[in-house]
Chain A
Amino acid sequence: MLRSFPGEEKALNLARNIIIGVALLAVVVVACILPSPLETALHKAAYNVVSPLMELIDRSSVVWHRFQQGLGTLEELDKETSDLRAQNAALTTENTVLKDMAAENSRLREMLGFKKASQYRLLAARLVSRDPGNWWSNIQINRGYADDELLRSDLPVITARGVVGKTGAVKRDVTEVILMTNQNCKISAKIESSNEQGILVGVELVGDGNLDNGKSRCRLTYISRVAQVAIGERVFTSGLGGVFPAGLLLGTISEVPPLSPQINFGLYREVYVEPVENLSQLNEMFVVMEAPVTESSPSVPASGKN
């Protein structure tokens, strides 16, 4: 018969606890050193598992929002309707003019022997959720590969005002959008007046946007040291790099730091750019898809390469 020694049970408990503790730590270490593709696959799987719940919460919030809107007075609704009708008429006229111009542009390009300008299809999307972490400002939109099989990462995401960011990991029902203020989002850009080209990079993120004097902003780097830049000048995508088509508005220059040995040295200098869109107030946006234009979908012309 086995005889239990005093303290034997305590020692066994201690050993068991140590083993469990080490196993837990091993799980965390393995998680930290997982290769990137496997990590992305895990993220996708997790989102696919909870997507029904996310959809339920999203739909509930939409219903609640509509209910709140429905509480407005008839007078307010009437005014809003007439405003929207006027806006619709103006946009329809503008659209017709732009279509004529696009057709003319296409003809002229053909006459000059240029390659036909590529067309883009816009996929409308709505913000579903934000990153649950504290410091990352990525967002999720309500479109996934189940909605459009051509949806993939590295596609531009825009609003009516300008660029918002680019698509990240695409899941079944939702897609991650890497905002332009994220350090991982780099956009080839040019300054409107001088055509000076550089790379637009997000400054580090906090909460719903970057914090530098409490404002979201980006850094335009690799512009020539002798470039003439002024506050308020507009910055557009240059079309180089292959992700963003040319001519999309990115923002305006908000700060031009003086040339100093600490930050602006060598051949280049950098300036700060305030995004055109308030990234903490995003709601509706479009993913710019590379596909032939269909009759029903709106399209934006983008300059093709010579």
Chain B
Amino acid sequence: MVQFLLIFGLLLVVFQMFMPEVGLIHTRPFLLPILVAYSALRFTPVRALGVAVGLGLFLDLFSAGRLGVSALCCILMTLFILSQMGDFKFDYIPHVMFLTLLGTFLYLTIDYLFFCIQVQTWRWYPKIWEEILGKSLLDTVLCVPFFWLFDVVNKAFLPGKEPRSLMR
């Protein structure tokens, strides 16, 4: 399943380059945090961190930013979600959506912080918050079908083990 998620992530990064703006949020969607959230919520911590590093490096390889920055953001997002293990039910859909929202918001905020450091400018416009919030909300909505799809694949790959399903 880890391999599937990494290959899916690589394809998603390539498709990300062609994605047009979504009229509703006036920005391009950013779906990679959904995969990071899935691995954090479904896999063991070590595997989740492995997926986070892999996905982050994939994104960095195709982006103009410094190599390793997205990987760091993915790691921080994974650690944040893992730290909520006691407070939230990882198989309860509203909690999953809420954690995806918070995780994506955290990812994008840290990503912008790193961007500011790289371009050596410190400017936070209200429009940036709008963009971060728009992308986070889109991921929150889209995490439901994505999690369903990954759960189906997870079951197919590991028929003996029952993954934490959203449908419970």
Interface residues in chain A, defined as those with a beta carbon under 8 Å from any beta carbon in chain B: 17, 20-21, 24-25, 27-32, 34, 39, 42-43, 46-47, 50, 53-54, 57-58, 61, 128-136, 138, 140, 168, 176, 183, 204-208, 211-212, 214
Contact = CB atoms under 8 A, between A and B. Distances in A.
Interface residues of B, number: 48
B72 interface: yes
A28 B72 contact: yes
B58 to A, nearest CB: 8
Contact of A32 (B17, B49, B69, B120): B69
A186 to B, nearest CB: 13
Interface stretch (B35-43, B92-100, B125-133, B143-151): B125-133
A58 B65 CA distance: 23
B15 A24 contact: no
A57 B49 contact: no
A131 B17 contact: yes
Contact of B65 (A129, A136, A140): A136
B15 A57 contact: yes
A214 B131 CA distance: 12
A208 B131 CA distance: 12
Interface stretch (B83-91, B107-115, B153-161): B107-115
Nearest to B112: A135
Contacts of B61: 42-43, 46
B165 interface: no
A27 B53 contact: yes
Contacts of B121: 183, 204
Residue picked from B61, B108, B127, B128, most chain A C-beta under 10 Å? B61
A268 B127 CA distance: 30
18 contacts: A20-B49, A24-B75, A27-B57, A28-B75, A32-B66, A43-B62, A53-B14, A131-B17, A132-B59, A134-B135, A176-B64, A204-B115, A204-B123, A206-B131, A208-B21, A211-B125, A211-B128, A212-B125
